[in-house]
Chains A and B, each alone.
Chain A
Amino acid sequence: MSSGLKVTAQVNEPARSFNWIDALLGLAVGAAGGALGSVLLTSSLVSGTVLGCLFGLAFGLFFAHRATSSGAGLIWGLGAAFLLWLVLPAGILPLLIGSGHSMAKLADARDQFPELVAYLICLGMPVGVALGVRGSFRGKLKNQPFHWWRAIMVGGFSGVLGGMIFARWSVAGDFFPLIGGLAEPHSRIATAAVEFGVAMFIGSSFGLLFQRDVRGYGSSMGWGLGFAIFWWFMGPLTLFPLASRAPLDWSADQGSDLFGSLVGHILYGLILGIAYATIDRFWVKLFIESDPLNREPEGPGLLVLRSLSWGALAGLAGGAVSSPVMVATGVLPKIAGLDSPFSVFRALLLHLLVSAFIGMTFGLLFRHESSSIGLGVMWGWLFGVIWWYLGPMTFLPLLLTGEIDWRASAASALLPSLMAHLIYGATTALAFLLLENRYTRRLLLDPRTAARELRRVRPVGTPAPALWLFALGMGVLLPILLG
């Protein structure tokens, strides 16, 4: 299925030399993180420290060359820590204990939820960021300059914007998801102010961490999603109880209680991601692309129109493929109302129209993100998860009942449609890429546009794979685990 075009296939990484400093730094930070985690979990200090050492050492040896900035390090660290949890407490440990029944294994995994939080907060985050900071001084990214002012201003403004949208919404519903777990201040205004402040902080740190990794609107949403999930672990589950002088509770039950806050974080992350990409794009347009030295051979209007039309077609394909699942899971009749004799037909038509529209957003948001069909489909899975949180979890209840229900039980009831969304996302991405590649093949014959197309394609080495695992994994796993 690869395109076979030589011009896009030459993406080889140079062999990496062994670096003792990375390994030692990973070892040291991992040991400290492991020790801290074992203290917080009140488990064995020795085993915690040894696990931390091993994780840090492995990360330093195998992942450090990918941690080229603090943001990249954070995402790789979170992905590696999540994988470690899946391998050890959720995978091997139940096998060793011999939990026979599958529901017993789920119960074991729920019991291991504090370990998941500890791995992310005490191992993945510090080890990844430490090696990322070191990586940023190695000068590997000298061809990708970092604009401090752009990061701070665009990130800060996106945070403010996301905060404004979100805080207004929260105040109206008397629900402040970003500060779930924090002891409530005395007044609603103070609560809203704290919520707003947290939103601003997350936004500004987003710009500083991910300026180099965010390439388009779609990937920005993906990074926003991942960063928001991380902040749910960091804020409501960890920092806010500590700030409120409450005992730290990383249990699955506490996670279930704060599930609404998780969905809130996810929505905020998506808003932040899209706002950041939009403002950043505006900044680039105003101050960088307007420079005649940086002129592109083809104007933006044409590309946008093409992406919209391909997205609509791809969305229709995705809608058609996912519609049997939507019918079987009972989502479609719910949309159209059960009283009409033509409800299924009407719902199907509506579903295809909505699918085409959402497909257009895929075209607009995710163009130029993938160099191959496989990578494109990975973004498609993530797009499907994003729309599960946006669609059935948020917009659909808002449209049908005027209220939203972000409780874990509601998410649990909607799990069947998650499959349909995953299928929709993957099919849409596949169809879009086939259409995009058909056009790109022609562009690649023109050396001017070929150079631009190559530049736009996400290179190997960005933290996208770790983001897929972390965001996709958490997006699917948490409703199952906490529901």
Chain B
Amino acid sequence: MALGTTLGHPLLGVLWGVVVGAIYSASLKPTRHAYVDNLMTGAALGIPLWGLISVIAIPLLSGQTPEWSAEQMRAHFPALVSWVLYGASLGLIIQGLTESAERILGPEVEVESPAQQEKKRIVILGGGFAGMRTAECLEKQFEGDSAVSIILVSDTNALLFTPMLAEVAGSSLEPSHISTPLRSSLHRTEFIRGRVSKIDLETRRVILDPDHASRESAAPREVPYDQLVLALGSVSNYLGMVNIERLAFNFKSLLDAIRIRNHVIEMFERADREPDSALRRTLLTFVIAGGGFAGVELAGALNDFAHGILADYPNLAPGDLSVVLVHSRDRILPELSESLARYAQERMEARGVTFRLNTRLTDAHPGVVVLSDGEICAQTLVWTAGTGPNPLLKSLPVEKDKRGALVVENSLGLRGNPGVWALGDCAALVDAKSGKPCPPTAQFALREAEVLAKNIRAELQGRPKRSFHFNSLGALCVVGHQTACAELAIPFMRNKSVRFSGLFAWVMWRGIYLAKLPGLERKIRVLVDWTIELFFPRDIVQTIDLQ
């Protein structure tokens, strides 16, 4: 009625009233006994509605210009009061009708809760780059879809940011700062910390090792799946050399990096009180096997760390210290172009690293590293020379390549095993466009995860799947203090790249990897660590007892 008298036509008033009332009712959640709230909300709503409808819409619908000049708006003042009164009445009426409807018809039918629905279970094995990124992408793909549950199983509860692992071994970064807790990073993914003992493709179940630390849950746990993602990564491959496996440090996990750092400090402490100069040199000789990214970055970081802490050990001389990198080929860093590899070698040699190229490790004994062309007296050997897929894959009755990685289709699905997928280091994947094998790097694993998540969704929805294709963006490698090599692909120009080296490449390395480090908090912590490193010497506090 209020609108009818104001708008000059009762039918027009009723029409506007019905439209506004329907929108109002649909856009607000019903709340019992909220009469005064709706009275005020409706009255407040009347004010903008006056502007939109009386001042703008009705003149426009009548073929006139909106009446929004000051004088015209003042002329519409009675309508403003009417709209407020209409809104107030609307609020009260809707509240009353809603409560009446609930009394007569009963409460609204409950939406079936997610727990009551049959869920599709997507289980991801592995919490590395591939597994974590897959979980993130699946969360995005299925957003609010409660009919899908995502479960991530990993034997560690954090994602290790491996590009910065050498800096932990070199005491530049605090260990926990380069690890992101999986539980905090994922929103709707259920996380299970556990080691997988068996994958049963027949019954579609994953069996986890029993938790021996807990007497209550000593039985193995089974995790059923509808879709299984294998992102188990790789382990060090010692090529059957048992002594090396027994004596060498691994360099894959955070604990490995912590152990290496503490061991280096331990060697310095023992060398400091060692009167025999030969033995002192043995203690301070650090051999790194493997001239790939991991080995080179570790050699550079250990070289900087070891030379830096010499100042704290007045009984030791720079001549006692030796960092040796052993590599089986004629040049290091096969992932980069030759000129950059040579540059890296020259810079590292200038900073004190010794290279033994075209040389293989054949054996190791306590205090001695046996090479194909001689021996090195050293108490420290770190192995980065070879990796292989997770041993768990050996038991799977599926096709594998020479390395032991699972052969997957372009869509990342396992051939003949619908609903089973593999990616990252444990998958042998061929690029759909280039036909070349995809390298087992984090860069590729992250892109594979994005395609895989889309393909799982496509499979569940019965849509066609995508094939994987990705052109490498390039590679970066730090070789020592404020020195790095970078080779970046030029977009849209096949096999063309641009190369950087020195300080600029180092700044680029830090910028890119800091941006890629997951979590704002971790970024800040690493940035603080790097800033502290500019002004203060590296820490030599031993945090674990290696004796």
Interchain CB contact under 8 A, B111 and A329: no
Interchain CB contact under 8 A, A418 and B51: yes
B residues less than 8 Å from A6 (CB atoms): 110-111, 113
Closest A residue by C-beta to B73? A415
* A79 located at the interface, meaning its Cβ lies under 8 Å from any Cβ of chain B in the complex: yes
Interchain CB contact under 8 A, B40 and A468: yes
* A12 located at the interface, meaning its Cβ lies under 8 Å from any Cβ of chain B in the complex: yes
* A426 located at the interface, meaning its Cβ lies under 8 Å from any Cβ of chain B in the complex: yes
* B236 located at the interface, meaning its Cβ lies under 8 Å from any Cβ of chain A in the complex: no
Residues 3 to 54 of chain A near chain B (Cβ within 8 Å): 4-6, 8-9, 11-16
* A105 located at the interface, meaning its Cβ lies under 8 Å from any Cβ of chain B in the complex: yes
Residues 359 to 373 of chain A near chain B (Cβ within 8 Å): 371-373
Task: For the complex formed, measure the closest distance between the CB of B39 and the CB atoms of chain A, giving whole angstroms.
Answer: 8
Interchain CB contact under 8 A, A302 and B48: no
Query: CB < 8 Å: which of A302, A422, A444 contacts B51?
Result: A422
Of the listed stretches A133-141, A161-169, A374-382, chain B binds A374-382
B residues less than 8 Å from A12 (CB atoms): 31-33
Interchain CB contact under 8 A, A297 and B184: yes
Interchain CB contact under 8 A, A442 and B41: no
Name the prevailing secondary structure of the A interface residues: helix
Interchain CB contact under 8 A, B48 and A86: no
* A258 located at the interface, meaning its Cβ lies under 8 Å from any Cβ of chain B in the complex: no
* B36 located at the interface, meaning its Cβ lies under 8 Å from any Cβ of chain A in the complex: yes
B residues less than 8 Å from A87 (CB atoms): 85, 88
In the bound complex, CA of A106 to CA of B74 (Å)? 7
B residues less than 8 Å from A374 (CB atoms): 24, 27-28, 41
B residues less than 8 Å from A179 (CB atoms): none
Closest A residue by C-beta to B111? A6
Closest A residue by C-beta to B139? A442
**Chain A window 91-120, contacts with chain B (Cβ cutoff 8 Å), 1 for yes, 0 for no:** 100100000001101100100000000000
Interchain CB contact under 8 A, B33 and A13: yes
Query: CB < 8 Å: which of B31, B35, B519 contacts A11?
Result: B31
Interchain CB contact under 8 A, B520 and A301: yes
In the bound complex, CA of A144 to CA of B40 (Å)? 24
Closest B residue by C-beta to A409? B70
Query: CB < 8 Å: which of A422, A469, A476 contacts B43?
Result: A469
Known A62-B36, A66-B36; contact A2-B29, beta-carbon cutoff 8 A: yes
* A348 located at the interface, meaning its Cβ lies under 8 Å from any Cβ of chain B in the complex: no
Of the listed stretches A243-251, A286-294, A392-400, A458-466, chain B binds A458-466
Interchain CB contact under 8 A, B28 and A372: yes
In the bound complex, CA of A481 to CA of B76 (Å)? 11
B residues less than 8 Å from A15 (CB atoms): 32-33
Closest A residue by C-beta to B520? A301
Closest B residue by C-beta to A8? B29
In the bound complex, CA of A437 to CA of B372 (Å)? 64
In the bound complex, CA of A103 to CA of B76 (Å)? 8
Query: CB < 8 Å: which of B75, B84, B110 contacts A473?
Result: B84
Known A6-B110, A79-B40, A83-B88; contact A301-B521, beta-carbon cutoff 8 A: yes
Interchain CB contact under 8 A, A103 and B74: yes
* A147 located at the interface, meaning its Cβ lies under 8 Å from any Cβ of chain B in the complex: no
B residues less than 8 Å from A469 (CB atoms): 40-41, 43-44, 47
In the bound complex, CA of A432 to CA of B524 (Å)? 29
* A338 located at the interface, meaning its Cβ lies under 8 Å from any Cβ of chain B in the complex: no
Interchain CB contact under 8 A, B27 and A373: yes
**Chain B window 64-79, contacts with chain A (Cβ cutoff 8 Å), 1 for yes, 0 for no:** 0110111001111110
In the bound complex, CA of A472 to CA of B46 (Å)? 10
Closest A residue by C-beta to B183? A297
A residues less than 8 Å from B88 (CB atoms): 83, 87
Name the prevailing secondary structure of the B interface residues: helix
Interchain CB contact under 8 A, A86 and B184: no
* A416 located at the interface, meaning its Cβ lies under 8 Å from any Cβ of chain B in the complex: yes
Residues 265 to 308 of chain B near chain A (Cβ within 8 Å): none
Interchain CB contact under 8 A, B37 and A465: yes
Interchain CB contact under 8 A, B73 and A449: no
B residues less than 8 Å from A1 (CB atoms): 26-27
* A423 located at the interface, meaning its Cβ lies under 8 Å from any Cβ of chain B in the complex: yes
Interchain CB contact under 8 A, B27 and A377: yes
B residues less than 8 Å from A9 (CB atoms): 29
Closest B residue by C-beta to A377? B27
Interchain CB contact under 8 A, A422 and B52: yes
In the bound complex, CA of A394 to CA of B32 (Å)? 42
In the bound complex, CA of A106 to CA of B24 (Å)? 28
* A445 located at the interface, meaning its Cβ lies under 8 Å from any Cβ of chain B in the complex: yes
Known A83-B88, A438-B143, A446-B187; contact A468-B27, beta-carbon cutoff 8 A: no
Interchain CB contact under 8 A, A378 and B41: yes
B residues less than 8 Å from A441 (CB atoms): 143-144
In the bound complex, CA of A472 to CA of B37 (Å)? 15
Query: CB < 8 Å: which of B32, B66, B73, B85 contacts A13?
Result: B32
Task: For the complex formed, measure the closest distance between the CB of A298 and the CB atoms of chain B, giving whole angstroms.
Answer: 8
A residues less than 8 Å from B47 (CB atoms): 381, 469, 472-473, 476-477
Known A109-B77, A460-B34, A480-B80; contact A445-B188, beta-carbon cutoff 8 A: yes
In the bound complex, CA of A344 to CA of B519 (Å)? 43
* A299 located at the interface, meaning its Cβ lies under 8 Å from any Cβ of chain B in the complex: yes
Task: For the complex formed, measure the closest distance between the CB of A217 and the CB atoms of chain B, giving whole angstroms.
Answer: 20
B residues less than 8 Å from A14 (CB atoms): 33
Query: CB < 8 Å: which of A2, A102, A445 contacts B146?
Result: A445
Task: For the complex formed, measure the closest distance between the CB of A99 and the CB atoms of chain B, giving whole angstroms.
Answer: 9
In the bound complex, CA of A476 to CA of B80 (Å)? 10
* A413 located at the interface, meaning its Cβ lies under 8 Å from any Cβ of chain B in the complex: yes
Interchain CB contact under 8 A, A445 and B187: yes
B residues less than 8 Å from A426 (CB atoms): 48
Interchain CB contact under 8 A, A443 and B187: yes
Closest A residue by C-beta to B26? A1
A residues less than 8 Å from B85 (CB atoms): 86-87, 91
Known A297-B184, A415-B73, A442-B144; contact A460-B31, beta-carbon cutoff 8 A: yes
Query: CB < 8 Å: which of B27, B35, B44, B146 contacts A62?
Result: B35
In the bound complex, CA of A302 to CA of B518 (Å)? 11
B residues less than 8 Å from A329 (CB atoms): 68
B residues less than 8 Å from A416 (CB atoms): 68-70, 73
> What are 23 contact pairs spanning A and B, CB under 8 A?
A9-B29, A13-B32, A13-B33, A14-B33, A16-B33, A62-B35, A76-B36, A87-B88, A91-B81, A91-B85, A102-B78, A105-B78, A302-B520, A328-B65, A412-B70, A418-B51, A441-B143, A445-B188, A460-B34, A460-B37, A473-B47, A476-B47, A476-B80
Given contacts A4-B111, A381-B45, 7 further A-B contacts (CB under 8 A): A2-B28, A83-B40, A83-B88, A106-B74, A381-B47, A468-B40, A481-B77
Give me the 5 closest cross-chain CB pairs, A-B, nearest first.
A441-B144, A374-B27, A465-B40, A468-B44, A301-B520
